[in-house]
Structure 1
């Protein structure tokens, strides 16, 4: 699994060879294809495994009892940072997978991304304390603006990561520090 994830991260789905994976893993090609019918099956299995780990190490740990959405975003960012530190290749693999445009797998990738994002969205946006927002504020619209801003931020950062392929730990730290700065701006704009 580690050899396959590393190869997919370094080369993308299209350019990764099962020959390279088996050589790096020190196994025979027959062994690989005993468990997986194709490179696509292996890739999707790895993605499903990474999604499960991500749910366990990140999504399931988001505290929905915290009603302050800014604090929840900040806590979620720290959880994600911890997960990235603990499983750097896994996180890079998920980015490579979800940003892949290979027509062989794009449908399955989109389906998985939609499901995992729906679970994460539910955890992030349920049970929010609306009394923290300014009295004159239309809270639902304010939350929509926050969501759009953070979604735009995520898309911009994904585009940068796609161009760079992977980020170092220091670059991830800078990314999370920057995210925290944006959360502070949102707090000042919308909270009492």
Structure 2
């Protein structure tokens, strides 16, 4: 992409971002029309491609943007977006440690991360559907790049977010990373099935499902003396 995009006023950047998220969330990659994105953003298609050299460049930028937005929320860097404008992200706060850095229980951290993500989804229209479409995209043009970006993001987030966890609570035969991946797959699979059936997505229902899955996985992963869920 053209770095001059970052020199635009934030309001204009957000118009382009929101337009892209809306169109890509309602259509698979191949059928998303860049003319429609430009129209919704209030710019010409030529200008859109001046900032993003092609459709793929724009799509991958939006995927990275959303992943960063969610991670910033999880890491405690800001309140997320508001209204129909996603936040522009932020840098990890320095000095005073974020709350997640003081937590040593793996499953408590998972809950904190899930609740932070939900706040972003509640405030940012189209983000959930866009990300789910991306995770399950079968389009050969972007699939390989998305798979690589997803794997890198999951690995990086795990190493950073769970770095202070007390892994001695785990049964020796249970890999923590696989428990993390299982919970991610369960949640994303649920969202994917809802999208395929055109059913409405209830944030409350997602969290209810999440807490049940988390309880099951804790029983699988933790030694018996650590399995009791805290009130």
Alignment: residue pair count? 184
Show the counterpart of 1:51.
67
TM-score (normalizing by structure 1): 0.81
Give the secondary-structure state (helix, strand or coil) at the position aligned to 1:139: coil
Q: Are the aligned partners of 2:129 and 2:195 in contact in 1 as well (CA < 8 Å)?
A: no
Write the mapping of 1:132-147 to structure 2, written as runs, cut at 5 A.
133=169, 139-144=171-176, 146-147=179-180
Q: 1 CA distance for matches of 2:61 and 2:189?
A: 28
TM score, norm. by length of structure 2: 0.68
The more displaced of 93-102 and 144-153 is 144-153
Higher mean C-alpha deviation, range 141-150 or range 22-31: 141-150
- CA shift, 1:149, in A, is 4.5
> What CA RMSD, in Å, does the superposition of the two structures yield over aligned residues?
2.6
What corresponds to 1:6 in structure 2?
Answer: 22
CA deviations on 1:3-36 (whole Å, 9 max, x unpaired) are 1210000012110111222222232222212212
User: Does residue 185 in structure 1 map to residue 201 in structure 2?
Assistant: no
Change (3 A) 1:166 1:57: farther
Question: For 2:114 and 2:53, how far apart are their aligned partners in 1?
Answer: 37
Gaps of 5+ in 2: 1-16, 77-98, 226-231
- Cα separation, 1, equivalents of 2:203 and 2:145: 28
Which one of 1, 18, 35 corresponds to residue 19 of structure 1? 35
Residues 69 and 124 of structure 1 are in contact (CA less than 8 Å); yes or no, is this contact kept in structure 2? no
1:74-89 aligned within 5 A: 74-89=111-126
Pairwise CA distance, 1:155: 5.5
Q: Deviations over 1:30-75 (max 9, x none)?
A: 22122122111111121222222122112x2371421111211111
Render the CA deviation track for 1:92-143: whole Å, top value 9, x for unaligned: 2222222211111112111211111112222454332246x4xxxx623245
Contact 1:7 1:21 in 2 (8 A): yes
Larger RCO, structure (CA 8 Å, separation 6 or more)? 1
Name the structure where helix makes up a greater proportion of residues: 1
Q: Residue 167 and residue 117 in structure 1: after superposition, are their counterparts in 2 closer, same or farther (change >3 A)?
A: farther
Corresponding position of 2:203: 172
Q: Describe the shift of the 1:30–1:159 C-alpha distance in structure 2 as closer, same or farther (beyond 3 A).
A: closer
Structure 1, unaligned runs of 5 or more: none
For residues 75-104 of structure 1, the C-alpha deviation after alignment (integer angstroms, 9 at most, x for no partner) is 111111112112232232222222211111
